[in-house]
Each structure stands twice: as structure tokens, then as C-alpha cells.
Amino acid sequence: MFSFIKKKPPEAPAGSAESSSAKVPEPGAADAAAEDIAATDAVLSSDPLSTEEPLPEESSAGFFTRLKQSLSKTRSALTDSLSALILGRKTIDQDLLDDIETQLLSADMGLEATDHIVTALTQKMDRRQLANPQALLDSLKLELTALLTPCDVPLTINADKKPYVILVVGVNGAGKTTTIGKLAKRLQKEGHKLVLAAGDTFRAAAVEQLKVWGERNSVPVIAQPTGSDSASVIFDAYQSAVARGADVLIADTAGRLHTKDNLMQELEKIVRVLKKLDPALPHETLLVLDSTTGQNSLNQARSFHKSVTVTGIALTKLDGTAKGGMVFAIAKELKLPIRFIGVGEKVDDLRPFEARQFVDALFSDS
């Protein structure tokens, strides 16, 4: 067991979250970074799993079974009823396609994606390419997979961009901090050296929450007191990541409502400050979307994309929701890479998104 060494608090907060000009640390920031290194060395040399049992490696077959289980509500809302509907018919006609349309819409698939799928099926029906209900079902599966395939673009850490900076954004409670914890573990397992930035300076508990994750993963967390300027924390963390020779910096941010202009401007400020360091920063702006919010997440995505140019999506809480159909709506309407899906609260419950695997898990009988 180790005792977590508290970082010496800075003399004064770096500025209020409301301040309009970013407090860009002066060259002396390197000293602060060195101090951070000293403060967290104890953490780094401690037993990495002292706060958590080691996770057994899961086979891909094991994960597929769990993915199926975690999608059980979406399966019953979307695919089970679709299969029953289609296989229960003797003839393939317009009525059946209308029923499929209703089913897709009620499973949160959204207008555009539903329209796309139904149009494709209608064309196949008109060309007499659907010999029987099973052929229709197979065809539906193929269309659904094709819809998701453009979003099947995994996050790759480019070693030439060191540290690779991932800025994590999203509305309150979407799962940002949890996703960072899971991602940190995943990237660490892949051999990357990480630093986390506690950029959510709004809530008192937020920094602690990230520190717990950092502690579990033996990853240094760069933080300042609650109320500090988020852009400044992330700037500091970048300096620290450079000083440590880290491969990846993941920055947390406060949850914010996408409709609140002042909060979105604050996020834009974080990006501006990072771009002063290097115009290519952040390398990834990961938007975390809670799949239980259904269609509203499309509006969230549009607003965040407009403000900070989202480059990837992490879709959380696919377990326990019947609204998994929104994955298709996101794919069709946003055309952004879906980097990860979250299927539970445990550290191993974040997985790279794979279009075919996702559709197979939705339709698999066994």
C-alpha cells in the first residue's frame, strides 16, 4: 500500500474559469513540471494494482458474448422484434417495409438512417433481389453494417506527435472521466506512457475522481485547485507531459451544456491555448456521448463540433439502454469516427468500435 502524496498547492489559482484571456504559463512552467514529477514519483513506483484487482485478459470471443449481453435491451427493442417481424411474414411487400421503417424509427435510429436503410431495401425488393424473408433479414444486416463502416476508424496514437494530446469533451455526466480512466488503462497496456490533465476545475470532486483513476493506473495527474482556469491546467499538463517524455496526454474537461454559449466559449479557449503551443493540438478531440440520451446526442455533437471540431466519438452506456439504434443515426448524420463504445462501468468496459462486430452482436441468435 502506498500513501498518495499531495501536491503542494500553487500560490494562487491561475485565474477564474470566467476569465476571458488565457493565463499562459511563462517559461518557469518547466519548474512546476519538475515539481510535479517529484510529487508523483512515489505514485509511479508504487504497486500499480494496489487499489484494484488485476483484470484478466479477455478473449475476443469473451468480449463478444459480453457485448451481446450488454446490448440486450437494444437487441430486444430493435433486432429481436425486427427478426420476428420479418421472419414471421411469407411475402415481402410494401407493408412489411413500412413496418420495418416504424420499428427502426422507434428504436432511435433517426430519420436519415431509417430512410437510407428502407430505400435500399425497397430498391432490392423492386429488383426482385429479395427471394425470401431470410434474404431480407440478411440484406438488412448488410445495409446496417455498411452504414456503420465509415465510422469504424480506430484511434491510433501517432508516435511522431509526442505527446499525443487527446482532449475529452461532452455534456455533464456523459462519462468523460470514466472513459479517460478506461482509455488510460488501455493505452498503458499498449505500452504508452501517459499523463492526465484534470481540466475539470468546476466541481470539487472532479479532480479527486481523476486522481483516483490516475492512482489506479499509476499515471500522473496534473491538477490545480477547483476554480482554476481549465485552459491553464491543460497547458501546464502539456508542459509536464513534454518534460516527462510522455507519449500521450489525456485532458479531462468540465461537463457543459452544449446550448450554453459561455461554456462552449470556454472550451474554445482551451483549444486556442493549446494551439498557441502547436497549431496541430489537440490531435484528437474526443466527444463523449451518453447513448441513453438518444437523439439529443445528435444536437450535442453538432454544437461541440461547431465549437471545437470533434475528431472522434466515444459512445458510453450502451449497456442498459434500448437506444442503441442511435449509433446508426450518429453514423449517418455526423459521419464522424466512433472510436470507442462503453458497455459498463468497469475499466475493461471500453472497447474500440467495430462495425461488423456491433451488428453481429445485435443480431446474433445464440
Ligand X SMILES: Nc1nc2c(ncn2[C@@H]2O[C@H](COP(=O)(O)OP(=O)(O)OP(=O)(O)O)[C@@H](O)[C@H]2O)c(=O)[nH]1
Which residues contact Mg ion (rule: CB under 5 A)? 176-177
Residue 248: what residue type?
V
199 touches ligand X (CB under 6 A): no
- Residue 320 touches which of ligand X, Mg ion, none (CB < 5 to 8 A by kind)? ligand X
Q: How many CB atoms lie within 10 A of CB 59?
A: 9
Q: Which of 344, 347, 357, 363 binds ligand X (CB under 6 A)?
A: 344
Helix orientation angle between 296-308 and 326-334, rounded to the nearest 10 degrees? 30
- Residue 201 touches which of Mg ion, ligand X, none (CB < 5 to 8 A by kind)? none
At its nearest, how many Å lie between ligand X and the CB of residue 250? 12
- Residue 345 touches which of ligand X, Mg ion, none (CB < 5 to 8 A by kind)? ligand X
| Nearer Cβ to ligand X (26/53) | 53
| Nearer Cβ to ligand X (174/334) | 174
342 touches ligand X (CB under 6 A): yes
Q: Helix, strand, or coil here: 276?
A: helix
CA distance 326 to 297: 9
Q: Helix, strand, or coil here: 226?
A: coil
Rg (CA), the chain: 23
| Nearer Cβ to ligand X (72/132) | 72
324 touches ligand X (CB under 6 A): no
CA distance 130 to 140: 11
177 touches ligand X (CB under 6 A): yes
* Torsion angle, alpha carbons of 224, 229, 232, 237, to 10: 40
**Which of 312, 63, 55 has the alpha carbon at shortest distance from 186?**
55
List the x/- string, 253-272, binding to ligand X by CB under 6 A. Answer: --x-----------------
Residues 302-321 interacting with ligand X (rule: CB under 6 A): 316-317, 319-320
**Which of 182, 341, 340, 170 has the alpha carbon at shortest distance from 253?**
170
| Nearer Cβ to Mg ion (155/254) | 254
Binders of ligand X: how many residues, by CB under 6 A?
A: 21
352 touches ligand X (CB under 6 A): no
- Residue 92 touches which of ligand X, Mg ion, none (CB < 5 to 8 A by kind)? none
What's the grid cell of residue 339?
Answer: 472510436
210 touches ligand X (CB under 6 A): no
What's the grid cell of residue 120?
Answer: 435500399
230 touches ligand X (CB under 6 A): no
Task: Return the residue matching grid coordinates 455526466.
Answer: 173
Contact criterion met (CB below 8 Å) for 196 and 222: yes
What's the grid cell of residue 338?
Answer: 466512433
- Torsion angles phi and psi, residue 314, rounded to 5: -115, 125
Q: Which of 143, 200, 247, 266 binds ligand X (CB under 6 A)?
A: 200
| Nearer Cβ to ligand X (102/265) | 265
In terms of C-beta density within 10 A (0-12 exposed, 13-18 middle, 19 or more buried), how is residue 47 classed? exposed
- Residue 229 touches which of Mg ion, ligand X, none (CB < 5 to 8 A by kind)? none
**Taking contact as CB under 6 A, which single stretch among the options 28-36, 43-51, 176-184, 326-334 is the one that binds ligand X?**
176-184
Sign of CA dihedral 89, 95, 99, 105: positive
Residue 221: what residue type?
V
At its nearest, how many Å lie between Mg ion and the CB of residue 326? 22
| Nearer Cβ to Mg ion (176/339) | 176
Interface contacts to ligand X, rule CB under 6 A: 170, 172-178, 200, 206, 255, 288, 316-317, 319-320, 342-345, 349
